[in-house]
Every structure is written in C-alpha cells, then in structure tokens.
Chains A and B, each alone.
Chain A
Amino acid sequence: AAGVIQSPRHLIKEKRETATLKCYPIPRHDTVYWYQQGPGQDPQFLISFYEKMQSDKGSIPDRFSAQQFSDYHSELNMSSLELGDSALYFCASSLAEGITGNTIYFGEGSWLTVV
C-alpha cells in the first residue's frame, strides 16, 4: 500500500539559509501534519492542514511556514535556519472521516542538518 512520501530524505544547509521539505500524503487522505523530532527528543507537533486550510498549530517557529496544495501535498518552508533546527522532520497524513478512526500515518522523515 502507498505510504506517506517525504522529500528530500536528507538535507544539509548552512545557518541563515532556507530549506523546503515536501510531503505527499497517502492517496485520498485530506489531512497533513508536520512534526519535528530533535536528537534524543520525542516528536513535537508543528502544524496541520485539513482540506488545504490550516487546522491546528503547535510549536512552529515564526521563521517556518507551511501550506497544503490543491493536490493535498504539503510543503514546510524554513527560513533563517539556526543550528537548533537540525532535526528529523516527520510528515503524517490521515483521513478525517475515515473508518480507521483518527489513525495518522507517518512518513520516514526528512533529516535536516544545519551547519
């Protein structure tokens, strides 16, 4: 079965640069979530989108922005990168009214290293 696809899988950027992560949800899923997992930390919720509208916001820095497009894929844009932004970024998707309840499915993650 198709899973959540994230790209790139690995990314190295310098401080103050900009990075963009992409997420392609499971087909027919209408909701996308972004999580950030720092080294040795648990995943922290950043932001979510339902039907292309922002639905919830967590600990996302003002330097970050995200959107969900008409094909339901999502992009996380990170500007003025700091060393502390180095982390594993997960995207997840779900079907809001699906029979599986509210289970969300995670991608493999995108590793961002800021040097």
Chain B
Amino acid sequence: GEDVEQSLFLSVREGDSSVINCTYTDSSSTYLYWYKQEPGAGLQLLTYIFSNMDMKQDQRLTVLLNKKDKHLSLRIADTQTGDSAIYFCAASRGGSGTYKYIFGTGTRLKVLA
C-alpha cells in the first residue's frame, strides 16, 4: 500500500524560507496535499497539486513535485511565527467514488523569532 514519509522536525528563523519534504511510494497517486495542524486544532488544507504538474505557487507557498523520484516539497517564503505548526503531506488516487488519503508522519515546524 501507499507509504508517505516526512522528516519529523524543522526549525527556522523568522523571515527565512522553510522547506518541508515528503516522499511517497505509490506512483499512481493522483493528488498530493499539504495540510497544516496547529496545536489542539483540526487539519487545515493549505494547497494541493495534481500529479501532472511540477510546481504550484500560492502566495507564500510553493509546491514542487518530482514525480520521477516521488518527492514533494512545500516551501514557505518569509516564514512567520504563526507558521509554527505540524505540516502533513497526504497522497490520494483519483477515480470515481472515494479518495482515501494516506498521510505522512507530519513535520513539526518551529519558527524562531
């Protein structure tokens, strides 16, 4: 089955860029997502990318997808203290019906003032 891996921790200084990496195993994954979870809160969808795209930019967020290496990254420009949270990547397959997400282990981003 699908396996999604992330590094567990990342620490950056305020104003720097953060890059969170994710690898997945199922090459038939159609959509890849990034979610943010703040302490005690739910999962907030940040962005997603379709597997036929290499890059997607949305304000401070840039998603890069290397389908050959099955590697996904999320770059946060000008990281702020409010960006401190756990970031999950998730992979799913398309098709009609349901789209079960497989989540990575989550990367805990700590932004230092």
Contact = CB atoms under 8 A, between A and B. Distances in A.
Interface string A54-92: 011010000000000000000000000000000000101
Contact of B104 (A42, A58, A90, A94): A42
Interface stretch (B11-19, B40-48, B74-82): B40-48
Given A33-B98, A48-B98, A55-B98, A108 B103 contact: no
Nearest to A109: B42
Given A101-B94, A109-B42, A42 B106 contact: yes
A90 B97 CA distance: 19
B111 to A, nearest CB: 20
Contacts of B43: 43, 90, 106, 109
Contact of A102 (B41, B88, B92, B102): B92
Interface in B60-103: 88, 92-103
Contact of A45 (B41, B94, B95, B101): B101
Contacts, number: 65
B45 A102 contact: no
B96 A97 contact: yes
Nearest to A105: B45
Nearest to A101: B31
A50 B97 contact: yes
Interface string B42-56: 110100101000000
Given A42-B105, A42-B106, A43-B88, A103 B45 contact: yes
Nearest to B33: A103
